[in-house]
Amino acid sequence: MKSYLPLLIGCFLFTNSIAQQNTTTYNYHSPIDVPIFLSGTFAELRSNHFHSGIDIRTANKPGHKVFAIEDGYVSRIAVSPGGFGKALYIAHPDGHTSVYAHLQQLEGEIANYLKTQQYKQERFEVNLFPPKDLLPVKKGQVIALSGNSGSSEGPHLHFEIRDSKTEETLNPLAFGFKVNDHIKPIIARLVIYPIGNQSYANNSSKRSTIAVSGIGVNEKPKQQTNFEASGEIAFGITASDQLDGVPNSNGIYSVTLSIDNKVFYQFVADRFAFDETRYINSFIDYDFFQNFKSRVMRTEIDPMNKLSMYEKAANKGILKVEEGKNYEAEYIVKDFQGNISRVPFTVKGIKAKPITSARNDTTLFNIQANKPFEITAKDYFVQFESGNFYRDQLIDCKPRLEKGFLSNGLTVGSKNIPVQKVYKIGIKPNNEKINKDKLLIVSIVNGEKPYAIGGKWENGFVIANVKIMGTFAIMADSIQPQIKAVNFTKGGSVHGLKRLQVEIQDELSGISSYRGTLNGQWILMDYDSKNKLLTYDFDERLKKGKNKLVVKVVDNCGNTNIFTTEISY
């Protein structure tokens, strides 16, 4: 019987070495006034990005005190209807910047500065970089209240630590913030991928999956884990982590694959740059995710994948299987607190099968990932740049009849093909005798409402930059946005209220801008885009007696609506 002792010892020493990279002692103050329970971990797998910090649970309530973790100064204040919402950045003398996002409000002089700048610019959405000496903060100072602003899906504090020099985001748990976690990660699935037409795994040229059940070092697959393979293969794993006292699953810290007592592949979530976060769509099996809404972390590294969190990937994560040889493999998954789960498996090299001829389909375009490529026709064009795809890609590109649109549909590839950066498409309308300013390109998914991409008229085409594959067509948006009073009535009294709330929405192209005035003066209206809500907190601009409120909203096709009323206070 083969002994696994050297493999176990090697993996123990290797995974321990990971933990030893994070032994620097920090004395940072907690960023919030409640114990730290996480609803999101660093580099957790999210749609189109790795999670850039940790999400701290706030019992589903806003308004918790948020503290500066160390002395420093406010280096940036960013406010937007989506994304991070209200976010505060503090630079510290040790070379780190702490980030606090989805805030309900800022506090003290920081809040005063923000409001002054918003009124000066007459904009809710701002991106401010105060002078270094303007807004100093002390360790433990209350700088904000936690909230649910931006694209947050519930009240919590999103917290980050960044390298001030490189602007890379770092794993906050490496800085001494304690979370209770005595639960081992969960491994749910193993996958083997034949690479190319000459490779097979389990008698198939397609991926082979095997479900896994249980938690911990005695991980037991639901079926035999002896794979037969020939040619070149890569591997994949689905895994998550559970922390003490929280119902949600979180992301793991590291994944290691050892083959024959040697580390073959390793991914570690210590730090990454924001310009590489979309490489997650190459890191995972994107096709599997689109089909099953579950993420498999692949070992194979695509040629155009620049992700820095790979610690090791022998031969780009691809194993060349030799006939007659057995490969003893083991996946080791670890969370930041050092809890480990393992699943062993065997790959048996078998005789290669006869080579099948490649598919001959003239409707497919073979696009080299490192070169630009253009597809042109009478009624459409598609322009790809170098780096749009992670690997050389076969795609289909053809028109199709679509009812209810102002053009034929244009199918570019499929939704199961990931795209790293925008490419350009142009579609010609069926009838040019229409208002060209109201035209835009939409994405069409069967059974779903068309999703606005945008676009502009140019040389007989509606042109847009897109970042997904799929089917597109032209629509017109000539309908003005909707504006509706929420907590008051037009012409009525607002006495006894503390704020006014107005709902704004647009059915197709989306909100481009809005502006609120009271008695002819601009007022600050907080825009919560996910709830389609404008909120004006009463201040000195609201006068005793009658006041004229005007809210003007413009959508992305230039359609305008103006809401006017007189309110009494």
Same fold, 364-476 and 482-568: no
pLDDT band at 217 (very low <50, low <70, confident <90, very high): low
What average pLDDT does this structure show over 202-225? 74
Q: In the prediction, which pLDDT does 352 show?
A: 86
Percentage of residues of the chain with pLDDT beyond 90? 87
pLDDT of residue 483: 98
Quote the pLDDT of residue 2. 40
CATH number given to 364-476: 2.60.220.30
Q: How far apart are CA 267 and CA 251, in angstroms?
A: 13
Which fold, 482-568?
Answer: Immunoglobulin-like (2.60.40)
Give the Cα separation of 105 and 94 in Å (integer): 27
CA 476 to each of CA 138, 409, 426, 470, 555: distance values in angstroms, whole numbers, following the listed order: 53, 14, 15, 20, 12
What is the per-residue pLDDT for 489? 95
More confident site: 5 or 471? 471
Long-range contacts of 437-440 (CB under 8 A, 24+ apart): 437/557, 437/558, 438/476, 438/477, 438/478, 438/557, 438/558, 438/559, 439/406, 439/474, 439/475, 439/476, 439/557, 440/464, 440/474, 440/475, 440/476, 440/477, 440/508, 440/509, 440/556, 440/557
Report the pLDDT averaged over residues 342-354: 90
Q: Determine how β-strand 340-349 pairs with β-strand 226-242.
A: parallel
For residue 251, pLDDT beyond 50: yes
Token pair for residue 321?
A: 């299987």
Where are the alpha helices (H) located in 200-332, listed in sequence order?
Answer: 280-283, 286-292
Q: Which residues contact 532 (CB under 8 A, 6 or more apart)?
A: 503, 504, 505
- C-beta separation of 105 from 145 below 8 A: yes
Q: Which of 65-74, 394-403, 478-487 bottoms out in mean pLDDT, i.e. has the lowest?
A: 394-403
A 10 A CB-CB count for 343 gives 23
Q: Which residue has the tokens 């024959």?
A: 260
| pLDDT number for residue 196 | 87
Q: Which of the four pLDDT bands, split at 50, 70 and 90, describes residue 446?
A: confident
Supply the pLDDT for residue 99: 98
Mean pLDDT of 376-393: 97
Residue 533 has pLDDT above 50, yes or no: yes
Q: Which two tokens stand for residue 370?
A: 């490192």
Q: Which DSSP symbol is given to 357?
A: P
Query: How is residue 204 annotated by DSSP?
Result: B
User: How far apart are the C-alpha atoms of 199 and 355, rounded to whole Å?
Assistant: 9
The average pLDDT across 423-435 equals 92
- pLDDT one-digit tens code per residue, 3-29: 444 444 444 444 444 444 444 678 999
Tokens read off for 144 = 């904000």
Rounded distance, CA 484 to CA 551, Å?
10
pLDDT band at 269 (very low <50, low <70, confident <90, very high): very high
- Domain map of the chain by residue range? 26-175, 186-349, 364-476, 482-568
Asked if pLDDT for residue 214 goes beyond 60, the answer is no
> For residue 118, which of 562, 453, 409, 539 has the smallest C-alpha distance?
539
**Mean of pLDDT over the chain:** 92
pLDDT at residue 517 tops 90: yes
Pick the CATH number of 26-175 from 2.60.120.10, 2.70.70.10, 2.60.40.10, 1.10.4190.10: 2.70.70.10
Say how far residue 519 (Cα) sits from the centre of its chain.
41
Give mean pLDDT, residues 45-60: 97
pLDDT digit string, tens, across residues 357-375: 555 555 689 999 999 999 9
Supply the pLDDT for residue 222.
Answer: 62
